[in-house]
Amino acid sequence: MPQIELSPDVEDGGMASMIADIIKGNLQEKPKRKNDFIALNGNIYMNAEDAEVDMTLVFNKGSLMVHNGKVGNPQICIATDSGTLLDLANINVKFGLPYYFDSIGWGVITKLLTGKLKIKGLVTHPIKLTRFTKLMSVR
């Protein structure tokens, strides 16, 4: 089983802990996504602006350490409201790729186009973002 840990500064039950639990549960329920987990290497920063919560997920080819705040120089930065961050966990995955052609996917795309969801690294790290999206998706 891949190693997923919380840094000492992360509170149990907080959003960072919830994101770690989502990824852990998805890897247990969908073992095929383990390859995406192992392939991820680098930092992903997430900021829930409305809840004033931010975290960095540090992936290291088969392990994940979740930190509060911004750590290092993340390749991907996601900034939005807390509800949209959790919506990312509801994106469908079809044929091994995130599926944006249903109501949840269109909602994410709409927020991206209107600036309510900002993703730095969308163009420069699309494979990393796709792998991360698949890890986050409970579908």
Q: Cite the beta strand spans of 38-96 per DSSP E.
A: 41-48, 53-60, 63-68, 76-80, 92-94
Contact 135, 23 (CB under 8 A): yes
Give pLDDT tens digits for 38-48: 999 999 999 99
CB atoms within 10 A of CB 57: 25
CA distances from 82 to 14, 16, 27, 42, 49 (A): 12, 11, 22, 23, 7
Entry pTM: 0.91
| pLDDT tens string 108-128 | 999 999 999 999 999 999 999
The residue extents of the domains of the chain are 3-136
Considering the domain 3-136 in this protein, what is its CATH number? 3.30.1050.10
